[in-house]
Amino acid sequence: MRPPFHRTGSEFAISGNSHTGHVWRKASDGKWRPLTSHYFWDNNYGATIVCRNLKYGTGIRTKTRRPQNQENFDTETGYRRCAHGNKSIMQCRKHGGPNQNDKSAQAHVKCSGVYEKEYPTGEYNPHYGFIVNKDFYIISRLGSGKYIDYLGRNLVLKTQNGRSSQKWYFHQ
């Protein structure tokens, strides 16, 4: 019998507590099935895909088996090893499977952080208040000896003052 879900996304759910648990995937037929851990355990990329679907920032896989599992694994995914750049579990490389004889090998993840949506070029980002990767212009009435510059990743106003300068930062 499936334990209750403690966090559910559009494709994945976890049973355990609010941020750690065994992974379930919603198949194309709408049924929730356990996700096998074979190959999934090889790195944390798959765990991050699962956790981002659950609105967390990142995830790590744990090697926690679920011996009481009696359900068959999701056959659409099979064995998947994810890599950097994979955005969904179905983009991860498939290695056959799943082995329905080792049902205790259900994927288990620990999620943390808050997921921030990646905004495509040209889309408005409400967190920063501007369109991502678009040119913008500053109209200024700075007096003489004042200028705008970069300091690391920050845009700052500077005033020449001998060898040093005074800095003002823009915060949004």
Q: Which residue has the higher pLDDT, 158 or 55?
A: 55
What stretches of the chain adopt beta strand conformation (E)? 7-8, 12-16, 20-26, 32-34, 58-62, 80-81, 93-94, 108-112, 124-125, 130-131, 146-151, 154-161, 164-169
* pLDDT at 114 (0 to 100): 79
Domains and CATH numbers, the chain: 7-112 (3.10.250.10), 124-169 (no CATH)
State how far the Cα of 33 lies from the Cα of 75, in Å rounded to an integer. 9
Q: Are the C-beta atoms of residues 6 and 51 closer than 8 Å to each other? A: no
pTM of model > 0.85: no
Return the minimum-mean-pLDDT range out of 3-12, 131-140, 146-155: 131-140
